[in-house]
Structure 1
Amino acid sequence: MKHTLKGWLADNAVTADNKTDKILLLESAGSMNLEDLLQEMFEANTGLQPETLRHVVELYHRIVKNAVLRGVQVNTGLFYAVAKFVGVVEGGKWNPEKNSIYVALTQGQEMREEIAQTSVSILGTKANVMYILETEDRKSGRKDGSATAGKNLFVRGAMLKVVGDDPSVGVTLTDRQDTITKIDPDDITINKPSELTLLLPTNLAEGEYTLTVTTQYSASKVPLKTPRSASTMVYIGGKDAGSEDEEGKLPGEV
């Protein structure tokens, strides 16, 4: 099956002095959760009933999860999954307040082969588009989505300046249980269209969060009537994405 990803050209906010420098932003085709995936599987006319499909998928999830969390490096073809330890172990003792377990997922051979067959369609130039290009954990200097509770997080992008009186305006962090933490406006220590510096709350538990910036800022200086948002994933406690060699394998894999 041939795939096509669509994208919009936008000014690269990081190189403000170069007016011809562009980046390509993905045109979103929406989002899907487990229920959506199960429905699409059923509509593929496999001959299996919805409850059977659900049972198989949930069983698959449970087997993969249990294998990874007993130390198995799982290779499904679509992705690799392996458990990693995060944090310095002081005094030879595991401290849940400073140490954590992170499961690294990297693309597998099947996904890489599909990517190689995927074409890109450029839709044109999109002016005044809002986006998050990258984040940087000021404590570690890492730009892979890592973040540290109680420390500064630098956010680069375009049209990010947090302004407006709509109640939704601001910066939020949403964990995997959909618990939302809103950053105090006073903790947005640098607030510019192309960059934000955020002092993260000290009480954030380690794990995966969706960082969302919502603003009424516009290049015309006239506030937008309807706020708009941009989001990215951050990982409190650090992200250990694993490392692939040139063959795309994880360390120790043959």
Structure 2
Amino acid sequence: MKKVLQAWLADNTVTVDNKTDKILILKSRGTLNLDDVIDEMLKQDTGLRIETLRHSIDLFLRILMDLILNGYSVNTGLFRAVAQLTGVVEGGVWNKEKNSIYVSLTQDKALREAILETAVEILGEKPDILYILETQDIKTGRRDGTATAGRILKVLGNMLKKAGDDPAVGITLTNDKGVVTTLEDDMLDTNTSKLLSILIPADLPTGEYTLTVTTQFSTGRYLLKEPRSVSTTIWIGGKPSGGGGEEERPGEL
């Protein structure tokens, strides 16, 4: 299958003084699940029944998970997976409230070689893209996705301004257990298209969170009829050592 990534040109909001430099924002082609992958496999005319394919994939994933969570570093050819332990251990005792297990995924040889064969098609400029370019922890100055509880985090991007009265509009932080924390209005300082300054709640435990911005903001006269969202990963209390592999790029919504 020919591999092509499509992308839009967008202003680089980090370099304020340079009005001409651009970045590329990936055009999303949607989200697929395991059933969709199996459908694509069936198109290859493997001769295998769908039940056989599903059993093989389920077995592979289950064995892979067991090996990783028993301390093995597993190279699949597509990616390497290894478990990492995060948080400060107090009194030599593991505490699930303060410590966590994090699985790091990094691209492996097969994926690196496929990337070299992937074409990028630039679609031109699209100024109304909603995206998060990066975050900055004001306490540390770091722009690597880390954040500090009780301190300001800058979120840079485009079309980010919180606007609209739909119940879904707002800024949330979701931990790895799916618990959602919604930021109150007084926790949002700067609220513009290019920049949000938010206060990270002081009582949030250390760990990985999904920061989601949902808004009806539009550059036109009227707000969008339906809200749209964009998300990025942040780490409160520090990014896991070696975690996450390649740096995530902003996506188009």
Code of the aligned partner of 1:80 = R
Counterpart residue number, 1:196: 196
**SS of the residue aligned with 1:10?**
strand
Q: Does 1:168 align with 2:185?
A: no
Displacement after TM superposition at 1:242 (Å): 1.9
Code of the aligned partner of 1:46 = T
Per the alignment, do residues 56 and 223 of structure 1 end up closer, same or farther by CA in structure 2, a change over 3 Å counting? Answer: same
Code of the aligned partner of 1:8 = W
* In 2: Cα distance, 1:54 partner to 1:214 partner: 35
Displacement after TM superposition at 1:139 (Å): 5.5
Instruction: Encode CA deviations 1:92-113: one digit per residue, 9 max, x unaligned.
Output: 3333222221111100011000
Counterpart residue number, 1:21: 21
| Within-5 A mapping of 1:107-126 | 107-126=107-126
Contact 1:105 1:242 (C-alpha < 8 Å) held by counterparts: no
Q: 131-140 or 182-191: which moved more?
A: 131-140
Counterpart residue number, 2:78: 78
Counterpart residue number, 2:59: 59
Instruction: Encode CA deviations 1:99-132: one digit per residue, 9 max, x unaligned.
Output: 2211111000110000011111111111232211
**SS of the residue aligned with 2:59?**
helix
Displacement after TM superposition at 1:162 (Å): 0.5
Displacement after TM superposition at 1:239 (Å): 3.7
* In 2: Cα distance, 1:55 partner to 1:234 partner: 35
Q: 48-57 or 114-123: which moved more?
A: 48-57
Counterpart residue number, 1:100: 100
- The number of residues matched between the two structures is 244
Displacement after TM superposition at 1:137 (Å): 4.2
Counterpart residue number, 1:9: 9
Per the alignment, do residues 142 and 50 of structure 1 end up closer, same or farther by CA in structure 2, a change over 3 Å counting? Answer: farther
Counterpart residue number, 1:68: 68
* In 1: Cα distance, 2:98 partner to 2:213 partner: 28
Code of the aligned partner of 1:65 = M
Displacement after TM superposition at 1:194 (Å): 1.4
Displacement after TM superposition at 1:167 (Å): 1.8
Counterpart residue number, 1:155: 155
Displacement after TM superposition at 1:148 (Å): 5.1
Normalising by structure 2, what TM-score? 0.83
Contact 1:188 1:196 (C-alpha < 8 Å) held by counterparts: yes
Contact 2:102 2:243 (C-alpha < 8 Å) held by counterparts: no
Displacement after TM superposition at 1:150 (Å): 5.0
Q: After TM superposition, which residue ranges in structure 1, 4 or more long, deviate above 6 angstroms?
A: none
Structure 1 residue ranges without an equivalent (≥5): 245-254
* In 1: Cα distance, 2:142 partner to 2:58 partner: 34
Counterpart residue number, 2:227: 227
Cα RMSD (Å):
2.7
Contact 1:106 1:241 (C-alpha < 8 Å) held by counterparts: no
